[in-house]
Structure 1
């Protein structure tokens, strides 16, 4: 363990037995980060690809075309790391409130993540990233579902732990509650540090938040959400199009190992290399997916334009499905202003063209998906094995 980075263990008592809780040192790490050639190269490449991704979004006539779906993809991936079995399709169907029979527990957690991120983005317009804002976002994140009884919006007043059945046999025990604010005060100060580059700040803050574990539940999801909020606040990204949880999900054992090695060995450099490689991979993947999506839109629009008298209503329907990849006839008619009968006719024509697929097999309460678009968005969002 590198001297000066190790933090300290404090001995506590709970349920009649002693246990050791870990109290991390404040950020930034001391001794300072060793930025060798590899880390500098990774940081430069990560910043370049983030700039490319942000530029692509800025050039769009309507960035909401991708933002709506990408935020939901990140929500699904982040929640899957915590063990939910909800897919992107489940979430999009869940959001169609008139449709019965959608599994509730897992998909409600993902839906709360979407609302929490949107709340945080909106509040950044008037409030800096702070402990107050994190409590607000946490309250939204746990507003319903399984975490609703775990003190939403409140820092914990009792000991939590990771792994094991109690603190005495846990894999990791965060700071005891009476020392929580001693950790969170310097953490908030670091969030406002003007000298740490934004990507490095996001990487360091994520680990520190996970180590402090200030809430009874939802720390993992909020810690990953914190990355997006920091990058948007620093104007590295205008829109949170980086679904970095894809990297953490695909490399889940290494993700947890890297977090652990920071605590046990002070290995911030190893974590940063892992984090920056994830930014590089995910930013590249997000930009390539965006380009494929835009090419798909152009190709399908050209095909629809050949439909003759049906082309007008079908093009308006296509416009709607670009923003809402899963929809119903009723919602589509309401959003496009096309009457329901013409909407159904247009949907059937798009099904014939292979652009739209009916999802339910029902005669009523049917749902329709922009099929190739949903396939592109759903890449790598299959639930992890339980």
Structure 2
């Protein structure tokens, strides 16, 4: 490797292994799981110098400019619309910001093999019947919101809070708590002996996380370089039983918000990483060997892809909204009109949800549904008379098109 940075490579240490007696395994697997094993010893990175090549540095600076410009452009778009319609700019921006955050959460989950389409996610958000994957991605949306809200206080405590929001109720994951046992990475490995990567022994997690937070709080590094390395170090420490990848990518967004690179939006960087997950995982491996360049380049490239795809999604949603505004004849203050922006980020609704987001009475909410059905903005998702749900199919299609453009290769 040409860019090995001094001090970043992991060490290794030996630990005794106690085989889990109740775990099913073949004779070959049992034989391979005998004796001591070696686990990573994470580098202490809080005060290390962070060398990257001039070319990578230039790419990172360009990526940061693109992210900042995207955030500013979408905010300005919302402000112009608000001025034209006499609305609060925050009200106009919120649906676009929420839609982008949801796409980021969905992409981050898909990197971990947790996949759910836009329709399932929309239904899960109003607690309509969906599968477990949609519920997990919905929890990821909530956790991402929590992480961004805590951007001014990036600490061990705020990371634990994000993990609790992500996996609350899933006791196997010990939500909101660091792991207390050895974990390993490798789909076919029944013990750390044959694993692809063995993170640090659980007794090293707390100190490793304190060191990471000290690194995150530095102000002498290019922001995206710092984000990429902090993320890779987090994944190396692997502090939780489950949810490490998703929380580690939340950390990136909290850092971008803390540094004022993003002010109002969550740029879907995970969608950029999702395009080639094999390269992303190889970059994490290279980081553990002391080579910083690949993971930094992955985040720079992912940022460019995220901005391009995010702009296309925003354009699609704006076009849909303009078409709705033309088709719907009801007055500006009606419940149907007030519901339109909410449909951009939550394209599945029931009457109770409409009442909640518009403040309308039951009769007005029911009338809004009728008006929106008549102009084909909403279509009925179920045929029963009880627990009826309606969908905004144009938004579902736009969100699915975003996912298709990711074009996952690895």
Task: Please state which band the TM-score falls in when normalised by the shorter chain.
Answer: 0.7 to 0.9
Q: Which runs of 5+ in 1 are unaligned?
A: none
- The 10-residue stretch of structure 1 (52-61 or 375-384) with the greater mean CA deviation from structure 2: 375-384
TM-score, length basis structure 1 = 0.87
Q: Report the CA distance between 1:290 and its aligned residue.
A: 1.2
1:19 matches 2:44: no
Equivalent in 301, 317, 320 of residue 277 of structure 1: 301
1:203 matches 2:228: yes
Secondary structure of the structure 1 residue equivalent to 2:16: strand
CA RMSD, 1 decimal: 2.7
Which residue does the alignment assign to 2:283? Answer: 258
TM-score, length basis structure 2 = 0.83
CA contact (8 A) 2:45 2:212 kept: yes
Structure 1, residues 96-142: CA drift from partner, whole Å, max 9, x if none? Answer: 13x3x322x222222221222222233345xx201121112212222
CA contact (8 A) 1:67 1:239 kept: yes
CA contact (8 A) 1:246 1:380 kept: no
Q: Report the CA distance between 1:309 and its aligned residue.
A: 7.6
Name the CA shift for 1:8/1:338 in 2 (closer, same or farther; >3 Å): closer
Q: Report the CA distance between 1:338 and its aligned residue.
A: 4.6
Secondary structure of the structure 2 residue equivalent to 1:378: helix
Which residue does the alignment assign to 1:112? Answer: 139
Name the CA shift for 1:311/1:113 in 2 (closer, same or farther; >3 Å): closer
Q: Report the CA distance between 1:71 and its aligned residue.
A: 1.8
Cα separation, 2, equivalents of 1:349 and 1:68: 25
Aligned pairs (5 A) from 1:330-349: 330-341=352-363, 343-349=365-371
Equivalent in 157, 169, 178 of residue 203 of structure 2: 178
Name the CA shift for 1:314/1:18 in 2 (closer, same or farther; >3 Å): same
Q: Report the CA distance between 1:259 and its aligned residue.
A: 0.9
Cα separation, 2, equivalents of 1:375 and 1:285: 15
Q: Report the CA distance between 1:343 and its aligned residue.
A: 4.2
1:377 matches 2:399: yes
- The 10-residue stretch of structure 1 (315-324 or 184-193) with the greater mean CA deviation from structure 2: 315-324
Q: Which runs of 5+ in 2 are unaligned?
A: 19-33, 79-88
Cα separation, 2, equivalents of 1:254 and 1:202: 17
Equivalent in 290, 298, 311 of residue 287 of structure 1: 311
Cα separation, 2, equivalents of 1:254 and 1:142: 27
Secondary structure of the structure 2 residue equivalent to 1:116: helix
1:232 matches 2:260: no
Which residue does the alignment assign to 2:13? Answer: 10
Aligned pairs (5 A) from 1:4-153: 4=6, 5-15=8-18, 16-27=34-45, 32-37=50-55, 39-59=56-76, 60=78, 61-62=89-90, 63-97=93-127, 99=128, 101-103=129-131, 105-125=132-152, 128-144=153-169, 147-153=170-176
Which residue does the alignment assign to 2:390? Answer: 368
- The 10-residue stretch of structure 1 (168-177 or 292-301) with the greater mean CA deviation from structure 2: 292-301
Name the CA shift for 1:269/1:320 in 2 (closer, same or farther; >3 Å): closer
Q: Report the CA distance between 1:350 and its aligned residue.
A: 3.1
Aligned residues: 374
1:299 matches 2:323: yes
Name the CA shift for 1:31/1:51 in 2 (closer, same or farther; >3 Å): closer
Cα separation, 2, equivalents of 1:246 and 1:87: 14
Secondary structure of the structure 1 residue equivalent to 2:36: strand
Cα separation, 2, equivalents of 1:339 and 1:228: 38
CA contact (8 A) 1:72 1:88 kept: no
Which residue does the alignment assign to 1:354? Answer: 376
Cα separation, 2, equivalents of 1:380 and 1:230: 25
